Structure 1
Amino acid sequence: MNPILRNIIAVIVGILVGGFVNISLVETGNAVFPIEGYDITTPEGLKGAISQFEFKNYIFPFLGHAIGTLIGAMVAGIIAATHKMKFAMAIGFFFLLGGIIMVVSYPGAMWFNVADLLLAYIPMAWIGGKIATCKTPKS
């Protein structure tokens, strides 16, 4: 397969897989720790509910952002034909942009916003890239 096409596919699949993991974990958190009286599947409901969030309500969003980025970056790095770490990091920057948009649109607790933006995206993309570029030892 043409390396450029393969690299494009790597980014698309990395975003889709990472996004699926992210959404799955966030939705799991909504089921495990629901906020009574709010439909947080809508933007209006989420804006109203954020003021009611406790520490436990931030666990799954953080895990979704971090693990979604990690898996998406790893997948992109594995699929990419060249510059595997660069493509893994591109996934991290893409998800970081999404995180910044979320912080601006739905301001939550400052400690969560700082931890999420600093720990869930770029470090996880780097780890995913390292996993993707890891060479298996010869037996």
Structure 2
Amino acid sequence: MNPIVRNIIAVVAGWIVGSVVNMLLINAGHSFFPVPGIDINDMDAYAGVMPDLEPKYFLFPFLAHAVGTLVGALIAAKVAVSHHMKMALIVGGLFLLGGIAVNYMLPGPTWFTALDVLVAYIPMAWLGGRIGMKKNPTA
């Protein structure tokens, strides 16, 4: 298979698998910590209560963003033929763009936005890339 095509497949696979992990953790969070009196599918109502939520309501969103990015970057690094870390960081960049968009649409407390944007994406993509390159350190 053409290495460029394989690297593109690596990024797409990482993005898809990471997104599935992200959504599973978000849904688990809604099961563990349901927001009282809010339909989570009503984005306007949800956005209205976000700034006033207790920190426990932000645990699973942060884990979803961080673990989803980590797993997606790991997959990209493992599947890629070359430029393993670059493919992992591309996945991290895609998740970062999504995270910025979500933090814009559902503005939470400033501490969460800062933590989410600064820690959950690029550092986790780098870590996933490092883990994914373990068996092939010269790549």
Contact 1:92-1:122 at 8 Å conserved across structures: yes
Taking only aligned residues, the RMSD between alpha carbons, in angstroms, comes to 1.4
Partner of 1:55: 55
Q: 1:52 offset after TM fit, Å?
A: 4.0
Q: 1:53 offset after TM fit, Å?
A: 1.6
Partner of 1:70: 70
Q: 1:135 offset after TM fit, Å?
A: 2.2
Identity %: 49
CA distance in 2, matches of 1:112, 1:78: 31
Counterpart secondary structure, 2:128 = helix
CA distance in 1, matches of 2:36, 2:93: 34
Counterpart secondary structure, 2:135 = coil
Moved runs in structure 1, 4+ residues, more than 3 A?
none
Structure 1 residues 1-139: aligned runs within 5 Å: 1-135=1-135
- Which stretch of the first structure deviates more once superposed, 58-67 or 31-40? 31-40
CA distance in 2, matches of 1:40, 1:71: 25
CA distance in 1, matches of 2:63, 2:114: 14
* Structure 2 residues without counterparts, runs of 5 or longer: none
**How many residues are paired up?**
137
CA distance in 2, matches of 1:45, 1:79: 40
- What TM-score does the superposition give when structure 2 sets the normalisation length? 0.93
* Structure 1 residues without counterparts, runs of 5 or longer: none
CA distance in 2, matches of 1:47, 1:118: 21
CA distance in 1, matches of 2:57, 2:46: 12
Letter in 2 for 1:14: G
CA distance in 2, matches of 1:51, 1:95: 22
Counterpart secondary structure, 2:5 = helix
- What TM-score does the superposition give when structure 1 sets the normalisation length? 0.93
CA distance in 2, matches of 1:52, 1:115: 17
